[in-house]
Structure 1
Amino acid sequence: MPYLVEILLPTIRSRPTRATLDGVRKELTDRFGGVTLHVNAPAEGLWEDDGHVEEDRIIVVEVMVDDLNRPWWSSYRADLEARFRQEEIVVRAVVIERL
């Protein structure tokens, strides 16, 4: 069953360098054969934390995979959280149907 894995990388607080993003691009391309980074149109995320509205801009990273290796993705998410200095980075997967 194919999946689209999406990684929501923050850009405001962590201010990733081009080298950091290139590293993510290379890692995922080497492992999965391709990746898409939406870097020129970052999305805006808002959430409430202790009564204050927090804001972040995110880059969406997409990878299509045939199988979902949950332990690997969990480990990779933890690595990204350390690299981007974040409490949590969202990594989500949706089942896709190729048309």
Structure 2
Amino acid sequence: MHLFQILLPRADNVGQPFAREDFDRVKEELAVDFEGVTAFLQAPAEGVWREGVQTDNDDIVIFEVMAEEIDLQDWRRRRAELERRFRQDKVIIRYMPMALV
């Protein structure tokens, strides 16, 4: 079993917040494709990164799904689609092995 996490910004690169419907659409798509999703939407996390001497940050939301198999081609397609929809240079999708207790 693997846990996949998708990190999405709450606002675009000029600070315009994305509509709740944008995140609801992602949540519904994941629920259908993976038979369940956990969405952390109400208490956004803060992402901070450095590029040279400049520090940037975003409020982010996180979606988690569990999957038996890893289909990297599908996840790359999904990432490209999210980058387009959320107008991002790069959307972070990460995965890790996991076991249920």
TM-score (structure 1 length as normaliser)? 0.93
SS of residue in 2 equivalent to 1:31? helix
Unaligned 5+ residue runs, structure 1?
Answer: none
Distance in 2 between residues matched to 1:22 and 1:8, nearest whole Å: 14
Instruction: Name the residue aligned to 1:10.
Output: 9
Measure how far apart 1:16 and its partner are. 1.8
Kindly provide the amino acid, as one letter, of the partner of residue 43 in structure 2. A
Measure how far apart 1:22 and its partner are. 1.0
**Identity between Structure 1 and Structure 2 (%):** 36
86-95 or 44-53: bigger deviation: 44-53
> Quick check: 1:43–1:59 contact (8 Å CA) kept in 2?
yes
Indicate the RMSD between aligned Cα atoms, in angstroms. 1.1
The Cα offsets for residues 30-89 of structure 1, whole Å up to 9 and x where unpaired, read as 111010110111111111123111010110100011111110000000000000000001
Instruction: Name the residue aligned to 1:96.
Output: 98
TM-score (structure 2 length as normaliser)? 0.92
> Quick check: 1:13–1:56 contact (8 Å CA) kept in 2?
no
| Matched length | 98
Distance in 2 between residues matched to 1:4 and 1:33, nearest whole Å: 13
Kindly provide the amino acid, as one letter, of the partner of residue 24 in structure 2. D
Instruction: Name the residue aligned to 1:59.
Output: 61
Distance in 1 between residues matched to 2:18 and 2:37, nearest whole Å: 18
Kindly provide the amino acid, as one letter, of the partner of residue 51 in structure 1. V
SS of residue in 1 equivalent to 2:79? helix
SS of residue in 2 equivalent to 1:22? helix
44-53 or 30-39: bigger deviation: 44-53
| Runs of 4+ more than 4 Å apart | none
